[in-house]
Amino acid sequence: MKRWTLWVPLALFVSFCALAAYQLTRPKTEFVASTMIGKPLPEFALRAAVADRPALSSADFRDGKPRLFNIFASWCIPCAAEAPQLEALRRRGADIVSVAIRDHPEDVAYFLARYGNPYSKIGADDLSEVQLGIGSSGVPETFVIDGKGVIRYQHIGDIRASDVPVLLEKLEEARR
Amino acid sequence: MKFWPFIAALVAIYLAAAPSTVAAQDSLPPAPYAYNQLDDPQQEAAAQALMETLRCLKCQSQSIADSDAPMAGDMRHQVRTRIAMGEDPEDIRAWLIERYGDYVSYAPTVSETTWPLFAIPLLLILVAAIVLWRRFRRRA
Amino acid sequence: MIAELGLAALWLAAALAALQLVAGAFAQRDGAAELAALARPAAIIQGLLAAFSFLMLLILFARTDLSVKLVAMNSHSAKPMIFKLSGAFGNHEGSMLLWITVMALAGALIAAVERRLPERTMMATLGAQAFVGLGFYAFLLFSSNPFERLPEPALEGMGLNPLLQDIGLVFHPPTLYVGYVGLSVAFSFAVGALLTRQVTPDFARAMRPWVLGAWIFLTLGITAGSYWAYYELGWGGWWFWDPVENASLMPWLAATALLHSASVLAARDALRAWTIMLGVVAFSMSMVGTFLVRSGILTSVHAFAVDPERGTFILILLSIYIGGALLLFGLRAGTVAEGERFSVTSREAALVFNNVMLSAILGIVLLGTLYPLVTEAFDVRVSVGPPYFNPVGAIFVVPMLIVMAVGPLLRWRQDSVARIRLPMVIAATATLAVLFLVMLTSDIGILPLLGLSLSFGLAIASFMPLRGRKLRMLPLATWGMVMAHFGIAVSLFGMACESAFSEETLAAVEIGDSAEVGPWSVALSEVRPTAGPNWTALEGRLMVSYDGGKPREIDPQSRNFWAPPQETTESALVTRWNGQLYAVIGREAGDGRWQLRLWWKPFVTLIWYGGVLIALGGVLALIGRLLNDLKRRSVKSRGAARREAQA
């Protein structure tokens, strides 16, 4: 055995330690980000999730107006937590459409009655088809879609108060 | 949660105070093809083979073929219906990778980010061959 | 009071470890005989104190003493007693206490019984064991105190993860831990030998039973863990290449290589540096695995928040111990002579080949496990799973299995192929016959096909070393080898059959209706509610019959635990000699029908029977070695007595 080969195990171990130490200092990425940013929405046409809001289809996004696309569900607790922020976004001029994932109409109606309804259209995504189609991996998530129906930005998790200006800015960017 | 859970789970339990993502479950029945097989056994086998290599996005390292998470069920439905429509399994994988990146597939392919996964085994073969060859050449 | 006793015992044990380290270190110099004499007693008392401390923790859990934080966080008064006890090590702090207890007891055992090593190496070994132990004591005492009290006793405990409330998991973790930590002995031996440069066949003979012992427990632990995952997770899978599984497989691979290279060193005084290296690597893999799992940097489930402080602590311990040992290896191994030579056709050569292959497999598992971490550093997330591990691992497993069939037939030092031609031809014929037969009759994947045919060849070849030997005279260790190698063949056969011939039926069934899976017919006759001490469940009553035979009843459940709230599926199994029926009842489909998941898995049980055989082979070998040692020792002492009498 050559002398230098005796140091190979130590060298490998040191690189492992360096990698592990680096990973320990970084916050763990828990989310799977969509890789659909910059790509157009897939084609879909969903039925309405509740009686008092129209249904949602991919064609609705191509009217030249950028909007927020919220993925939520009545059974999801963080979705209730982000309701005030969505309301704030709506008041500041954002058009918000949404899909309800795997939900009963009466549950959605109850949820909206209790936490507020900032949505102009709500589709029912009973098989998570739209969710899978845009690369979303959980609820809630919020996407910024531009006027041509292209996905521009993804926000994962519930919207905190500090995220509101970020989303408004992304919406503004999508207008250009 | 998956295997040797013991150790993994005991970390989880210890951290029971940490927020849990399993908080709520939806009440909708599972998607039609989440827990039902395709009628054609060959198509079902193809779907099953593919599902075993796709990662459940809501679980800790589990494939969608062995998870009860509703989203895994919807992904199984997606895979089975597409296979039933005659789509090629690798096209379905590509469709998912386009949406979620390489993370969603347990079967890495040679790419810019994954080539060492294939180069290093080749290197190992080479090293093993050299070690054995030198050892025996000297000794024989 | 009990908690305080436990904590005090732990501090005392740590102090004794420090004493043991000092004594071991001073023994390396001349003229410190008095201090050196302390090392052994210190090791023994340290072991007893650590065990006492662990006993105190068990008592706290048995009594559900809710004034102790750990108990309140992990136990619940409504839990059955056995799960209260297993809950003691079903958490981070308790399992670390178990770790240190096993380590201290192993140290005590070496101090009490090991007499073969030269005194200086022995002292260096005890010192090394104490040095490693000290780090873990510090970890426990400063950042993971299991005996911490709450300011106010809790009203009720938070419970134990229901998946862990299973009889299999009462025995699985301690078994695995004994294996993991038992390898610390090999580590300390290797470090001790490097310090004193005494790497001899005697050293290998002294180390071998310890490695064998740890390896037996590892084998059993992995086998049990795999079976647990199989029946508890409810999807019929038995190995997932999950990081946590890999963390247990890697030390096993290293220990297996170590066992074989130690045999070469013991019998032929070759592979000195390599054996030392493996001694270091085996325990290093235990520690690396523990780090990966504990620090949370590998598990991706959302609920597993990371404790960076704890991860940092383990990482520092790792770099001190593994880094230090590898540094010592780099410095010293060059001065350890290579040892005897041998020819290509010899037992040693086959063992070297097997070692190289095992190391390559270890490398692949390590690579596949760590690679996602590497890409994450560049903000790219990838997954590495069975489609990678199976074929890439097979590149090395297949040649290893072939050489494994041949190697035991060869003689040490120099042999000729001609001498073993007959058994080789028989095994090869069996392999090829099965290969072609299966290829003609069924359409299965290439890996199961290879596995199936090789399992036959290996099964036959594993008994060949008995050929032409007087069976009554054969050493137990040889019987052990035969049994362990046969166990590998059995397990391989089970794996190949499971992956090639399993049948699956998913069906939504009304009460009174039935479904078919393979040769089984399964009828759902009733779904009824039932309850246990800390859960409620829906239980399905299934009447199952094999091939139209007499029906029997099985009752899979879907359980709801309330502390903590979680749903689990309890599968119901029917075991036959030729396989298992696996039944799970799921949710109601929404229209009055119930989801049934059914599998027929031919010969699946052989996977675990094979594992048990491998471990039993280890036990036979261990008994054989120990008996030999006793004999040699008594001969020696009789000789000494005779000399004394003559004088």
Per the listing, tokens 């491998």 go with C614
Give the one of A39, A102, A133 whose C-beta lies nearest to B26's C-beta.
A102
Structural domain boundaries, residue C125: 1-161
CB atoms near residue B8 (< 10 Å)? 27
CB C513 within 8 A of CB C520: no
Q: What is the pLDDT of residue A115?
A: 93
Provide long-range contacts, Cβ within 8 A and 24+ apart, for C75-80: C75/C157, C75/C158, C75/C159, C75/C160, C76/C156, C76/C157, C76/C158, C76/C159, C76/C160, C76/C534, C76/C563, C77/C156, C77/C157, C78/C533, C78/C534, C78/C563, C79/C159, C79/C160, C79/C165, C79/C533, C79/C534, C80/C165, C80/C533
Cβ–Cβ gap A19/C288 under 8 Å: no
Structure-token match 């040679």, residue found: B110
Q: Which tokens belong to C541?
A: 């009553």
Phi, psi angles (nearest 5°) of residue C8: -60, -40
Residue C431 has pLDDT above 60, yes or no: yes
Place of tokens 């523990």: C290
User: Between C361 and A23, where is the model more confident?
Assistant: C361
Contact C298, C358 (CB under 8 A): no
- pLDDT (tens digit per residue) in A60-89: 999 899 999 999 999 888 899 999 999 999
Which segment of B55-64, C192-201, C615-624 scores lowest on mean pLDDT?
B55-64
- Cα separation, C76 vs C157, in Å, equals 4
Nearest to C326 among A9, A24, A28 (CB): A9
- Write the CB contacts of A110 (distance below 8 Å, at least 6 apart in sequence): A74
For B5-106, give the CATH class. mainly alpha
Whether C356 is covered by a domain: the verdict is: no
Checking if the pLDDT of C188 tops 90, the result is yes
Contact C382 B114 (CB under 8 A): yes
- H/E run at residue C525: strand C520-531
Query: Looking at CA atoms only, how far is residue C17 from chain B in angstroms?
Result: 27
Residues of A with CB below 8 A from B116's CB?
none
Please report residues of C whose CB lies closer than 8 A to that of B55: 383, 385
Which chains are adjacent to chain B, needing at least 3 Cβ pairs under 8 Å?
A, C
**What are the chain C neighbours of B121 within 8 Å (beta carbons)?**
364, 367, 392, 395
CB within 8 Å: B99 and A135? yes
Residues of B in contact with C387 (CB under 8 A): 53, 106-108
8 Å CB contact of B68 and C566 = no
Domain membership flag for residue C622: no
Kindly determine whether residue B1 and residue C235, on different chains, have CB atoms separated by under 8 Å.
no
Stretch C510-537: mean pLDDT: 91
φ and ψ at C63, to 5 degrees?
-85, -5
Residues linked to residue C365 through DSSP beta bridges, in sequence order: none
Give the distance from residue A78's alpha carbon to the nearest chain B alpha carbon, in angstroms: 10
Q: Is residue A106 in a domain?
A: yes
CA-to-CA separations, C75 to B14, C289, C535, in angstroms, rounded: 11, 26, 15
Residue C569 has pLDDT above 50, yes or no: yes
Whether the per-residue pLDDT at B17 is higher than 80: the answer is no
Tokens 């046969």 belong to C486
Average confidence (pLDDT) over B93-104: 93
C:164-223 residues touching chain B, CB 8 A cutoff: 164, 169, 172-173, 176
Task: Using the predicted structure, report yes or no on whether residue C301 has a pLDDT greater than 60.
Answer: no
Closest CA to A105 of A118, A121, A123, A119: A123
List all residues 6 or more positions away from C319 whose beta carbon is below 8 Å from its beta carbon: A17
A52 in any annotated domain: no
B38 in A contact zone (CB under 8 Å): no
Percent of residues in chain C assigned helix, strand, coil, to nearest 5: 65, 10, 25
Looking at the predicted structure, is the pLDDT value of residue C639 above 80?
no
CB of B28 less than 8 A from some CB of A: yes
- Comparing CB atoms, the residue among B23, B99, B101 nearest residue A77 is B23
Contact A129 B26 (CB under 8 A): no
The reply to whether C240 touches chain B by the CB within 8 Å rule is: yes
Judged by a CB distance cut-off of 8 A, whether residue B135 touches chain C is yes
C61-87 mean pLDDT:
87
Q: Does residue B4 carry a pLDDT above 80?
A: no
Q: What is the mean pLDDT of chain C?
A: 89
| C334 vs A3, A28, A29: nearest CB | A3
For residue C630, what are its two tokens? 């006793």
Mean per-residue pLDDT, C363-367: 96
pLDDT (mean) for C132-139 = 94
Name the C residues in 10-29 with CB < 8 Å from any B CB.
Answer: none
What single DSSP character describes residue C464? Answer: G
Longest dimension (CA), chain C: 95
Q: Tell whether C61 is covered by a domain.
A: yes
In this predicted complex, what is the ipTM? 0.88
CB-nearest to A36 from B23, B99, B103 is: B99
**Is it the case that residue C302 has pLDDT exceeding 50?**
no
- Tell me which chain C residues have a C-beta less than 8 angstroms from the C-beta of B108: 382-384, 387-388
Tell me if chain A has a CB within 8 Å of the CB of C343.
no
d(CA C640, CA C265): 28
What are chain A's partners, defined as 3 or more CB pairs within 8 angstroms? B, C
Question: Residue C504 and residue B15: Cβ atoms within 8 Å?
Answer: no
- Find all residues with CB under 8 Å of A109, minimum gap 6, and list them: A50, A51
More reliable by pLDDT, C300 or A25: A25
Predicted local distance difference test score (pLDDT) of residue B97? 93
pLDDT score of B23: 39
Q: Please say whether the beta carbons of C206 and C117 come within 8 A.
A: yes
Residues spanned by the domain of A75? 58-175
**Residue B26 pLDDT class (50, 70, 90 cuts):** low
Residue in this structure with the two tokens 């080789």, named with its chain if needed = C424
Residue C130's pLDDT band, with cuts at 50, 70 and 90, is: very high
Domain end marker among C131, C161, C191:
C161
Pick the residue of C294, C297, C316 with the most A CBs within 10 A to test the interface with A by mutation.
Answer: C297
pLDDT at B96: 95
pLDDT, greater one: A31 or C136: C136
Alpha carbon of residue C564 to chain centroid: 29
Read off the pLDDT of residues C526-563 as tens digits, 9 standing for 90 and up. 999 998 888 889 999 999 999 988 999 999 998 888 76
In B, minimum Cα distance to C69 occurs at B14
* Maximum mean pLDDT: which of B9-23, C295-309, C321-335: C321-335
pLDDT in tens, C11-38: 999 999 999 999 988 888 776 677 788 8
| Domain presence at residue A138 | yes
Question: Distance from C132 to chain B by nearest Cα, in Å?
Answer: 21
Cα–Cα distance between C273 and C364 in angstroms, integer? 23
For residue B98, give the chain A residue with the closest CA: A35
Contact flag B120-C367 (C-beta cutoff 8 Å)? yes
Q: pLDDT tens, C372-412? A: 989 988 888 899 999 999 999 999 999 999 999 999 999 88
Number of domains in chain A: 1
Smallest Cα–Cα separation from C408: which of C465, C359, C353?
Answer: C465
Q: Which one, of A144, A136, A145, A109, lies nearest residue A124 by Cα?
A: A109
Preferred mutation among A75, A101, A127, A139 to probe B, highest tally of B CBs within 10 A: A127
**pLDDT (tens digit per residue) in B74-95:** 999 999 999 999 999 999 999 9
Q: Residue C146 region, left (φ>0) first, then alpha (ψ -120 to 50), else beta?
A: alpha
CATH number at residue A80: 3.40.30.10
pLDDT at B34: 86
d(CA C422, CA C406): 11
A136-150, B52-66, C330-344, C388-402, range with the lowest pLDDT: C330-344
Confidence grade of residue C307 (pLDDT, cut at 50, 70, 90): low
Residues of A in contact with B28 (CB under 8 A): 102-104, 126
